[in-house]
Chain A
């Protein structure tokens, strides 16, 4: 009999999602509040259930509860909380399937949690699919909108293709090692390495296929073509959830597989069967393309989409470092990125809700009509840009420090240069809000749940910029889940 206590947070959230689904049947016709508030409560309770999480190792590593998994689960729950909090306006306008909307977000979150805990390839893959399949539907949720339908379809086709590529790589690994358990894969590979002194090209192909499959999920250049269209077309809270939650989930998978199982093949010394140099090149072009193309965007959702592509590039710089410092740095990075990005998208959702516009130009004079919202938007944008003393600055600093320590100085120089480019389009938003003389006719007051999200995001960005110690401690503990 297996002790299922470590699975309690996941099992609870799954059952709670079903409760939310049923609650819609009993809520009044025109109200989105009941399933929405129930979902928020469920996420908070799941968060509390995570606290006593002990180290657990079930079914030979199919479910592992280590500090890394717990840290990422907190991020997933936070992202889902803020996505649902900013969804009330959208859900209020739905005539059908309000409960299903929240249920699908919760299902996706459960999938991410299973994924972060998986140290076995089949479980990891099922977790990844459970994460993305609800997201396909969520992207297409506004069925009356052509762009949303297109986003959903595009996301599904790209998702299916990338899953196929990923599975192809995973199956070669299974063929070579005869096991799907990550720990055993590492052992078997080193046995082969010692006895033959060579792994053969099949191993390199497998590494590249896995990397490409996961790069699609993370929208790294050149696997990013889907991201701007999908981000622009999806309902804004879903876009926010996509850009933070599913990105963090893909990152967890990359770290589990590459840092967890293939750490021996991280350094370019192992060329041509290393993954470090390939990922470094991907990170470099992701930062360049993401930042440069973001400059030309006039739609704020599209701009944030390219900005999040670039952010994924910075995160990869930390993965490339493949060190203790690297993993703790990216953990902290994703944590701070969650607050800033969810906050920025929440404000975009609130504004678009009122004015119906997603153009950067329509933010003109926003600081005079809604000073608090404009101030918060400025803070989120500045944190994304990496300006001290906000959390985004420290996050970038740690990631770059880890990469320098690992010997990737050229990558860090490039990252710094592209960060400077990024200031341009980030500053453009702030310039529009504060320096434009045009008066803005809309005085916007967010609803209670949206206000809650903004408060949470604002506090997170400022507080963890000034006092990063508690989170840093957790991030360092998360990195201790891996052997370097």
Chain B
């Protein structure tokens, strides 16, 4: 049963991720990205990473992607605006290198001899994550607030008109 759910979620996540870059219509791309994120959420739930799963839906699929969608719809891009495909010449190379990387990664996951480090049952639950976030990792967590402040100031500068 788990295997089936995993297989369906994984295939949906992968296929819609491919569609994100394959479809020509930007709105379609964003919708496929939301679908991919939703499928990944299923995977996180199966790994009992409840906290991450909730955040994938709330923040990524919910907030960020909807914002993406609004922006792209507001830009109202048409096919002609996008111009000719500027990446045409590098595409074959991208296929070659991408396939090599894929083969390598598949080989790695097949030949993994070093055991992944074990984790206990509660790993990824909301209490466990919050205990880590406000306990052991409080310093980088606080540091992130400095990072966000810097990003906000940068965004304000970029968003306002004038030089």
Cβ contact within 8 Å between A96 and B162 = yes
A104 on interface, CB distance cutoff 8 Å: yes
Chain A residue at minimal CB-CB distance from B110: A201
**Which chain B residues lie closer than 8 Å to A95 at the CB level?**
162-163
Interface string of A333-364 (1 = CB under 8 A from B): 00000000000000000000000000000000
Could you give, for residues 190-209 of chain A, a 1 whenever the CB lies within 8 Å of some chain B CB and a 0 otherwise?
A: 00100010111111010000
Within 8 A of A (CB), among B86-116: 104-105, 107-109, 111-114, 116
Check if B118 is an interface residue, CB within 8 A of chain A.
Answer: yes
Contact indicator A114/B114 (Cβ below 8 Å): no
Q: Assess whether A176 is interfacial by the CB under 8 Å rule.
A: yes
In the assembly, what is the distance between CA of A196 and CA of B116, in Å?
13
Q: Answer yes or no: A144 CB below 8 A from chain B CBs.
A: yes
Interface size on B, residues (CB 8 A): 33
Q: Are B150 and A133 in contact (CB under 8 A)?
A: yes
- Asked if B150 and A107 sit within 8 Å, CB to CB, the answer is yes
Contact present for B158 and A140 (CB under 8 Å) = yes
Residues from 133 to 161 in B contacting A, C-beta threshold 8 Å: 136-140, 143-144, 146-147, 149-151, 153-154, 156-158, 160
Q: How far is B113's CA from A200's CA once the two chains are assembled, in angstroms?
A: 5
Which A residues from 106 to 155 make CB contacts under 8 A with B?
107-108, 110-111, 114, 120, 122-123, 126-127, 129-130, 133-134, 136-137, 140-144
Q: Does B119 contact A (CB under 8 A)?
A: yes
Least Cβ distance of A161 to chain B in Å?
13
Q: Which of A123, A144, A175 contacts B117 (CB 8 A)?
A: A175
A200/B114 in contact, CB under 8 A: yes
- Contact check, A201 vs B108: say whether CB atoms are below 8 A apart: yes
Contact of A176 among B117, B139, B140, B149 (CB under 8 A): B117
Contact of A59 among B108, B139, B153 (CB under 8 A): B139
B105 and A97 contacting across the interface, CB-CB below 8 Å: no
Asked if residues A188 and B114 are in contact (CB atoms below 8 Å), the reply is no
Q: Are A133 and B114 CB-contacts (below 8 A) given A122-B137, A205-B108? A: no
Least distance between A145 CB and chain B CB atoms (Å): 8
Partner of B143, one of A130, A136, A175, A177: A130
Interface size classification for chain A: 35 or more
- Asked if A178 lies at the interface with its beta carbon under 8 angstroms from chain B, I say yes
Q: Are A133 and B147 in contact (CB under 8 A)?
A: yes
Report chain A residues within 8 Å CB of B156. Answer: 100
Residues of A near B143 (CB, < 8 A) are 114, 123, 126-127, 130
A413 is an interface residue with CB less than 8 A from chain B: no
Q: B140–A122 contact, CB under 8 A?
A: yes
Is A271's CB within 8 Å of the partner chain B?
no
Determine the chain B residues whose CB is within 8 A of the CB of A140 once the complex forms: 158
Q: Is the CB of A176 within 8 A of B153?
A: no
Question: Are A129's CB and B114's CB within 8 A?
Answer: no
Tell me the smallest distance from the CB of A41 to a CB of chain B, in Å.
Answer: 20
A and B contact pairs by CB, cutoff 8 A, 30 listed: A58-B139, A59-B139, A62-B139, A94-B163, A95-B162, A95-B163, A97-B157, A100-B157, A104-B157, A107-B150, A107-B153, A108-B150, A111-B150, A123-B140, A126-B143, A126-B144, A129-B147, A130-B147, A137-B153, A143-B158, A143-B162, A143-B163, A144-B163, A175-B116, A176-B116, A178-B118, A196-B113, A196-B114, A200-B108, A200-B111
> Residues on A close to B: CB < 8 A?
14, 21, 58-60, 62-63, 94-97, 100, 103-104, 107-108, 110-111, 114, 120, 122-123, 126-127, 129-130, 133-134, 136-137, 140-144, 175-179, 188, 192, 196, 198-203, 205
Query: Which A-B residue pairs are the 7 nearest by beta carbons?
Result: A178-B117, A137-B154, A200-B113, A107-B150, A200-B114, A144-B163, A123-B140
